[in-house]
């Protein structure tokens, strides 16, 4: 049995449908989950950063009220600055990741939609031609 041209087109359309579904399942969904996880981590990190800033500010204010030695106040300020600098580096790393991945995700989503549309069109067209060619 030899396949006709429209049947080959229909098979190709089904392959495109499968390819778009596989891309969605095995690339886009894990990428979206990773982005969501990083956003949650970023939000948690932001909250912790605000709490640490407040804690250090309160500690420094308390040291000043208690007339603590100036060296101790400076050490606490240095620890505060170092800790907050670590958070700012992490913020930059997360934002760089998000900027890089969102563009890729957008392009691949367009490709998946195109593959799905073309595959559906080819599969449907093949079915229609086959139904039209079928003897009554």
Taking only the tens place, the pLDDT of each residue in 33-70 is 888 888 888 888 888 888 989 999 999 999 999 998 99
How many residues does the structure list for the chain?
A: 136
Q: Is the pLDDT score of 1 beyond 70? A: no
pLDDT tens digits, residue range 80-99?
999 888 777 776 677 777 77
Residue 103's pLDDT band (cuts 50, 70, 90): confident
Q: How far apart are CA 91 and CA 98, in angstroms?
A: 11
For the whole model, what pTM was predicted? 0.59
């Amino acid at each position: 049995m030899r396949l006709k041209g429209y049947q080959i087109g229909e098979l190709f359309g089904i392959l495109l449908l499968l390819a778009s579904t596989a891309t969605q399942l095995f690339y886009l969904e894990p990428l979206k989950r990773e982005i969501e996880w990083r956003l949650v981590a970023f939000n948690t990190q932001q909250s912790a950063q605000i709490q640490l800033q407040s804690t250090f500010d309160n500690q420094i204010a308390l040291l000043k009220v208690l007339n603590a030695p100036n060296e101790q106040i400076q050490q606490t300020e240095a620890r505060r600055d170092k800790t907050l600098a670590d958070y700012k580096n992490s913020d930059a790393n997360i934002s760089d990741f998000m900027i890089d991945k969102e563009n890729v995700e957008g392009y691949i989503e367009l490709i998946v939609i195109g593959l799905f549309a073309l595959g559906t069109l080819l599969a449907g067209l093949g079915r229609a031609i086959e139904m039209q060619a079928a003897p009554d």
